Structure 1
């Protein structure tokens, strides 16, 4: 599959100094066109529901592993109590809170980030994705026992596969009995971000796909199954480009209200996206990719959005180990 061009730099060359800006005619207009939600869905409907598909052809090399590890380390650096065991980054992890730690994964695709980054650290994940085949593939894989943190004896397979499922269930139950966790759950919801209130993700625009849970988590009403959900973390990765500036600011304001109050302030919104260059003078800018109807924003443009939404930028990190031909990825 040809790598997705929307993440490629339009203003750099592999050899020699960077060329001048070539961001496209949209920037020359007084009112640049914004993304069209329906066009974005139409584009992703044509993409394979696989890691390689959602990563634009970069899913079969080192990129997924490097990117996932960096995200987990970043989360642990902000919230050390997420660590399930002592490690060099957190030799003595603080005690976990009594509540079910809950995270929202928006524009989650087939659940790659939920599966490899969020679920190992949190108790509950609300997985939100507007593309039907993506969210249903994620639900299928999780409910069939393919996700390590959600083993299931109802999964099909040969004797060795079923023995492995039982071993993982026993391991998880021992972990819970020893007070090291509460069991894992993922709630799959088909929905876009426009007009979303994260506290009530299933509305007239949202469709409940299903809940996948470890046995110990089935009966608990709090966390992802609460009537009004509050989150310890809201994770946004490679999806906010499909929102116009006003829609993005509105979403960020609403997302801020959905964060859990108190708890030592360990509640954050993480945004991980590609960034193009700022305009001369450090002015924020954005350009529209007509193919998938998404905006690529510059660093300052993102900062402008955050400030307009009343958010404070605590830290920024550049994702290392990405191919040179891609836009820089920042969290």
Structure 2
């Protein structure tokens, strides 16, 4: 399982604390993230790439980060490549099933739009902040996501409404997809208590964008099975126990076989003395920054094995290291 990024790009902070903040009070347990406080923090952030990336959205950071993620996906799953390339000179045949990916804590859909959608057939996009998921849904519905077919379906509706002026792009898409189509299902929901197989339980099905008649499989079935589950810059808002529970359920929601993965991309602080895992709480956004070993401990506790680890290159020096 690839490992370890958080919606705001974390800045360097002292790594001498272990899952605690300064206090004169003795506590039975170290403080952890408070879900409601995290939502309150993100409610004050602009629903834009610059907003969700903590002010780093207008420079090279998004492009470098997105490219690295796509290359990592293709190196582990060469069958995702739609055409021959240096990584996959002879791409495997398209599988009979719709290749489906879950994007959790997806914000306005930046990762879905630029990393996942070009490679997968179906995306289930989960985000708890209302204005973020509404903005992502609006942009996809208005034809701003180039890998989606130029059509849209309203929530709980069966009608497909064609957008004007896009006939050539629609023709090109239909030729490339060979009528397979692509879809994104937008769900407003947090990660706490989530069973990825049933992504809409306890949440709001905002809507589907894409070809609605592509078959009742992939993201459209009652029990969704995934080729990949992608977690980026969001798991810091989960306590240790909630995180381990989620990772266990994520593992159980993967398609059978050796080439299906949970990807985790997060900022990492330093390990404590002796290589012991540690974490500390950022009270501003109520999230935990975990060290490398702390992440590994969480993965092992959830029954996951680390298959590949990469450091994200090209990030500003003042940020915590980002690992996938």
> C-alpha distance in 2, partners of 1:294/1:219?
39
CA distance in 2, matches of 1:261, 1:27: 46
**What corresponds to 2:13 in structure 1?**
10
Whether the aligned pair in 2 keeps the contact of 1:189 and 1:207 (CA below 8 Å) is yes
Equivalent in 247, 253, 257 of residue 252 of structure 1: 247
1:110-157: per-residue Cα shift (whole Å, max 9, x none)? 0000000000000000000000000010000000000001142579xx
What is the CA RMSD across the aligned residues, in angstroms? 2.0
* Inter-partner Cα distance in structure 2 for 1:56 and 1:23: 24
SS of equivalent to 2:21: helix
Is contact 1:139-1:210 (8 Å) kept?
yes
Distance in 1, matches of 2:169 and 2:72, equals 27
Once the two structures are overlaid, the 10-residue window that deviates more, 238-247 or 27-36, is 27-36
Which of 261, 265, 268 aligns to 1:268? It is 261
Q: CA 1:229–1:298 in 2, change beyond 3 Å: closer, same or farther?
A: same
2:287, 2:86 → 1: CA distance? 39
**Corresponding residue number in structure 2 for 1:202:** 200
Aligned equivalents of 1:82, 1:27: Cα separation in 2: 47
Structure 1's 190 and 234: CA in aligned 2 closer, same or farther, altered over 3 A? same
Alignment of 1:155-304 (within 5 A): 162-163=164-165, 165-177=166-178, 182-203=180-201, 205-214=202-211, 217-262=212-257, 265-304=258-297
Unaligned runs of 5+ residues in structure 1 are: 12-19, 156-160
Q: Structure 2: give runs of 5+ residues left out of the alignment.
A: 1-6, 154-162
TM normalised by structure 1 equals: 0.88
Measured after TM superposition, the shift of residue 308 of structure 1 is 0.2
Write the distance in 1 (CA, Å) between the matches of 2:278 and 2:196.
28
Number of the residue aligned with 2:46: 48
Whole-angstrom distance in 1 between the partners of 2:137 and 2:228: 21
SS of aligned partner of 1:321: coil
Q: Does residue 134 of structure 1 match 2:129?
A: no
The CA deviation at 1:162 is 4.8
Match for residue 106 of structure 2?
108
In structure 2, relative to structure 1, the CA distance for the partners of 1:78 and 1:24 (3 Å cut) is: closer
Higher relative contact order (CA 8 A, sep 6+): 2
* TM-score, with structure 2 as normaliser: 0.90
Tell me, yes or no, if the aligned pair for 1:143 and 1:150 is still in contact at 8 Å: no
Mapped contact 1:27–1:287 kept (Cα < 8 A):
no
Q: How many Å apart are 1:218 and its aligned residue?
A: 2.5
